[in-house]
Amino acid sequence: MWIYEKKLEHPVKISCPDVAFAKLVITQYGGPDGELSASLRYLNQRYSMPFDNAKALLTDIGTEELAHMEMIAALVYKLTEGACPEDYQAAGWGGQYVQHDNGLFWTDANGIPWSAKYIAALGDPITDLVEDMAAEQKARATYEHLIQMTSDPCVKDMLRFLWEREVVHFQRFGEMLNTVQDWQAQKQHLWCGHRPPEEETEED
């Protein structure tokens, strides 16, 4: 169950339209390391987490990633507001206009549509949490690249906010990874590479 607030998590402002940058930032809408991939990954993986705190973390972060996808959508709409076919053509994004006009579609910066192959769900909490940490690092790096590709201070501010959230998510997943590993190390749970101290003997 979620509560929907009719406002963006962080203000989305631009100095002026920029179709060329919209073509780049769309990758965080539907690219392999974008917000759609993140939200679906976490909201799916939560079901195989071993206890409630882990499920809650994945639910919280997965929900926030939906809010980030909303922010990227708002940014793309603002960057393309009032753009004509010639503007899309000049930006090398004519295919977007032909297929979608100014409507959004889940693609990366090269126009490749989103695919479920971007998401892994192994059902093993350690594996999934490690993948989640890697996903956050890839998203962080992508935002750094996007920040370097725009001179608009308003856009940079929004992208820096999203960058910061990726860093926080990485930290939270790392903390939960440690918690799950400690939980699995208990003798009533799955062995994870070492025996708990109470099972060690002098022969060891």
Annotated binding site for Ca(2+): 60
Task: Give the integer Cα–Cα distance in Å for 38 and 118.
Answer: 9
Count other C-beta atoms under 10 Å from residue 156's C-beta: 15
Task: Give the integer Cα–Cα distance in Å for 169 and 150.
Answer: 24
Residue ranges at the known binding site for Mn(2+): 35, 65, 68, 136, 169
Cβ within 8 Å of residue 175, ≥6 positions away: none
In 46-152, which residue ranges form alpha helices assigned H by DSSP? 52-79, 85-90, 94-100, 125-148
Task: Give the integer Cα–Cα distance in Å for 37 and 114.
Answer: 8
Task: Give the integer Cα–Cα distance in Å for 129 and 164.
Answer: 19
Largest CA distance in the chain: 78
Residue ranges at the known binding site: 35, 60, 65, 68, 136, 169
Give rounded-to-5 percent helix, strand, coil for the chain: 65, 0, 35
